[in-house]
Chains A and B, each alone.
Chain A
Amino acid sequence: MAKSPKPIRLEQKSQSGCADLLEVVLFAPQGANEHDFHLGADVRFGTMVIASDDWSKSVEIGLSRATLGLDLSGCEIDPSAHRFGDRPPVSVKTHKENRETASTSIRSDAGVSLGFAANNAAGKLALKGDVKAQVGAAQNREVSSTAKQIVEAHEDPVVALSGNRWRFVSVGSDFMSSRYSGEEALCKVKVTSASVKVEAKLSFYPKDIAIIDVETSSPSLFDSWKKSPNKAAIAKVLVAKHLRELNPLDNQAVPIVGWVSVLKGAL
């Protein structure tokens, strides 16, 4: 009978920098042992409101992108195992559709109308309708054509990157919200020492900050920011500075570290 591996009890500690915007909690969903364990990361995003002293003005912000980086000691990611967010590159699919529609209506003096429509698809002309009579002169003619090009692009909200990193991106919205990771293991970790430690840093750059809404007595302010790239840029720079000022983790670093989770244990 095979000897069961010795378990490792892991403890998780976390420290927040911008708790409202993002959070990460590391865990081992199936527990850990002396050989390996599956590492899970519960990653969530939210929005944050920055308000003035008198609460008369506020700015709601979110993140359009963030990166999770792992720093491991006493263990390493199993390179042969699947990682959450592994996406083999695929060829871009471009679908072009050209459609030309021509319609002609002919009115006779007696008010009898006759119509037919022609569709030209993929180089083949198909005529629909029943032409019953020959009419001399066309009195009213309308021709319309439309050209349509559809480009199918696929974007993943989570992508595993080199260097033990994962990138989280908003898809279909300007900012991320709710849970992005945690239902399946992030990766499989091989234990190489009696003491293991995994540190996860969830971080973002100032350019990843999205201004979602501005509450003020002037309702047109948000629109004016949208129209003025200079003001919008300055606003985001100031928001980034504010987040750094609030951040107990590191107030100078680029990228801005929003949350740190440490999972450690020993045999």
Chain B
Amino acid sequence: MQDASHSLFALMDSEDDDFPTLVARYGIDPATDLQYCDLRNVDFGELIAETLNLTGSNIAGANLSRIRCKNVIGAERETVAQFDALGEMIHRVTFAIKRYQNSDWIWSQIAGEDETETLDLAFYDSAAEQDALTKRLCGHFYNNATVIRDPRQRGLWTKSTAGSELPFLNFLLFYTSKYNSKFEFGPNSLDEAFLDLITGGKSEPIDGPFAALMAANRSSVQKIEKGVEGIGIDEQRIFFSRAVSRELTPGPGQIAFDYAAILFSGYPPISKKFFQDLRAAIRPRLRLVFLCSSELEPYFDEKEGSLSRNVALPNYAIREPLTTRVDLSRLERRIGASSDNRISIGSVTLAKMEKMVERPLREAKGELLKRLDDIKATAAQSRSEVYYL
């Protein structure tokens, strides 16, 4: 058995996809080993080398924009620069398609079902969309919330809100923009990421028309954040669940809530174990809504995310978004905007997309990404000013 074959089988087990990392790990010399190779569509990333020799290699669609090599042989600097612009543009368009979400659909699905004991997961694609969708959903939940004034906290509330009482309500909002996606998609890692945001006091206030209710929510969330003790993940899960339960339990003499809703915006979904702890601690029927970054969407994909769905909650409780004509025009605009109008949807693809109306949005996005891959493979050679998907 020779060294290169050992590397080949080690590559099979590797999760890493970063080209410079793989080159270094498997002892590939950029000065000699990459000649006459098939390097189509390779993203060279930030490859650092004295000499990069690509003589005779097929580098159509490759991204050489970020390499840091003193001598590049076999690819003209001008070509590298062209790859730079082209690769970046295709990357931007890919990102724009992948992250697209229909917030109207999400809102209608969540707001359309009242007082159901469900677990909802929806995705936003930008901070602005997170903000807008959270506010819209807050409006819905506040409008439908059961509010009880609690005399126990009169003093505290009087001081901070100029005479008003602290209301108790059956809705809690956790909002953060401090989301960090760097975690493994496993039960413990998800819960750690979630509880890090909680114990780190990363929740943020949100503006809106329900000032008094939002102020009450802020007070409750801060109390919950402070109420999570312990170092171990199991302990913290239980402390969090109890702290939430306290904030959803009206004072003595008050009628207990029979239903409560919690919206986590910007927090990762939690594990099944965590959900069980939460469910055991909270008496009312419970609805949890997670608004997550669309970076997490692939983990919940119908086909490829099945493994992750088994370890994490919530599952897709809302129906999978279906493609509408509005989605198509929005996607068309996004593609144009993210490529400075150099990439458009061609008439053939457009006709095909029309047939995808009412089919899952995931499929429509997948079709566009497939077309984009075709462009990626041929764009470097065709060197057009305008490309059609």
Residues of A whose CB lies within 8 Å of any CB of B are: 50, 52-53, 57, 59, 205-207, 209, 214, 216, 218, 221, 228-242, 244-246, 254-255
Contact = CB atoms under 8 A, between A and B. Distances in A.
Given A229-B43, A236-B37, 9 more contacts: A207-B58, A230-B43, A231-B22, A232-B38, A233-B39, A234-B11, A239-B4, A242-B2, A242-B5
Contacts of B276: none
Interface in B10-51: 11-12, 14, 17-19, 22-23, 26, 28, 33-43
A185 B61 CA distance: 41
Given A228-B17, A230-B17, A237-B33, A207 B38 contact: yes
A50 B1 CA distance: 10
Given A229-B43, A231-B11, A238-B26, A50 B5 contact: yes
Nearest to A59: B8
B26 A255 contact: no
B4 A234 contact: no
A206 B26 CA distance: 17
Contact of B36 (A232, A233, A242, A255): A255
**Shortest 4 CB-CB contacts between residues of A and residues of B:** A241-B4, A229-B41, A242-B4, A205-B36
Nearest to B38: A207
Contacts of B2: 242, 245-246
A205 to B, nearest CB: 4
Given A229-B43, A245-B4, A57 B33 contact: no
Interface residues of B, number: 34
Contact of A207 (B1, B14, B23, B57): B57
B22 A242 contact: no
Contacts of A231: 11, 14, 17, 22
Nearest to B8: A238
A239 B8 CA distance: 7
Interface centre among A53, A229, A242, A244 (most CB of B within 10 A): A229
A255 B26 CA distance: 22
Contacts of A53: 1
Contacts of B3: 241, 245
Contacts, number: 95
A234 B23 contact: yes
A243 to B, nearest CB: 8
A50 B38 contact: no
B9 A240 contact: no
Nearest to B20: A230
Nearest to B36: A205
Contacts of A205: 36-37, 56
Nearest to B57: A207
Contacts of B8: 50, 59, 235, 238-239, 242
28 contacts: A50-B8, A52-B5, A205-B36, A205-B56, A206-B35, A206-B36, A207-B57, A214-B12, A218-B12, A221-B12, A229-B43, A230-B19, A230-B22, A231-B17, A232-B38, A233-B19, A233-B38, A233-B42, A237-B33, A238-B7, A238-B11, A241-B33, A242-B2, A242-B5, A242-B8, A245-B4, A254-B36, A254-B56
Interface centre among B3, B4, B34, B57 (most CB of A within 10 A): B4
Contacts of A234: 11, 19, 22-23, 26, 28
Nearest to B28: A237
B2 to A, nearest CB: 4
Contacts of A240: 33, 37
A231 B4 CA distance: 14
A220 B363 CA distance: 20
Contacts of A230: 17-19, 22, 42-43
Given A234-B23, A254-B56, A207 B18 contact: no
Interface centre among B12, B34, B61 (most CB of A within 10 A): B12
A232 B17 CA distance: 10
A218 B62 CA distance: 28
Contacts of B18: 230
Interface centre among A232, A233, A239, A255 (most CB of B within 10 A): A233
B9 A52 contact: yes
A222 B19 CA distance: 18
A229 B36 contact: no
B259 to A, nearest CB: 42
Contacts of B37: 205-207, 233, 236-237, 240
A251 B344 CA distance: 48
A38 B39 CA distance: 40
B38 A206 contact: yes
